[in-house]
Amino acid sequence: MVEKMEVNNLECFRKKVASGQTALGCVITLDDPVVCECAGDCGLDFVWIDAEHGPFSLETIQSHILACRGTQCAPFVRVAQNSAAVLKPVLDLAPAAVIIPMVNSAEEAEAAVAACKYPPVGVRGISVRRANRYGSESLDAYFQHPEKHPMVIVQIEHVDAVRNLDAILKVKGLDSICVGPCDLSASLGCICDMENPELNKVIDEICAKTKKAGLMLGTASGPLARWQERGVDWIATGLDIGLLGAGFRNILKEGGR
């Protein structure tokens, strides 16, 4: 009999955060699943498969998720929008988490949670393949363990979301808040000025309120030390193509160019 394996390494990610360590990851934009396999083999705790800005089909998302299976790396997927129709096929691939962008109100957060949860809690359609290991686990057992289902992460990345943050944090079913500094800066009129005092004041407020609410705090940003001071639980500190480009530039620098 095949030894049971957790399907998406969510338990590894949860243990890392519960231990008090910062879970470290990378944003994935390249479509080759070898990138995720490499990230996992190198020891990253999670990958952020960016289906909002990356050129991904459902098939390539699935390949990236499968590439993490033989590692201890948890595959997160950021979807293109807060839509049940967009979320449903991604959830059926059994990622460790879904990241939902531009959630600006409690109502939008409630809709995101509902799309990710089965009835009677939510409206998620039932079609289980990977999540119960292709029938190795009964549906009854699968439904009785909601902690094994993908985490629901919403992004706070607009000034409207900041205004509504207290209400958003009260929405049941949220697992984590993800701060989106770039879009947040744009909505504040200081696009990508990461040293702007007003932007950092707002980010500090988001982080403090999230931690007080007992939700996990995450981001895809840097520098790491600054975010750790804010209490970040998980952080994607690099972009695959950016890391690749940095390597190329280092080669040229070493060659005197």
Q: What number of CA atoms fall less than 13 Å from residue 40's CA on the CB side?
A: 25
> Taking the chain, what is the end-to-end CA distance rounded to the nearest angstrom?
57
CA angle, 236 then 237 then 239, to 5°: 85
Cα–Cα dist 216/109, whole Å: 15
C-alpha dist (Å) from residue 180 to 155, 197, 256? 6, 16, 37
Cα–Cα dist 176/234, whole Å: 10
Asked if residue 215 lies in contact with residue 175, where contact means CB atoms within 8 angstroms, the answer is yes
Q: Active site residue: 53, 64, 145, 149, which one?
A: 53
Q: 147 burial class (0-12, 13-18, 19+ CB within 10 angstroms)? A: exposed
Cα–Cα dist 207/241, whole Å: 28
CA angle, 205 then 209 then 215, to 5°: 135
53 is known as an active-site residue? yes
| Token pair listed for 68 | 């993490």
Catalytic site positions: 53
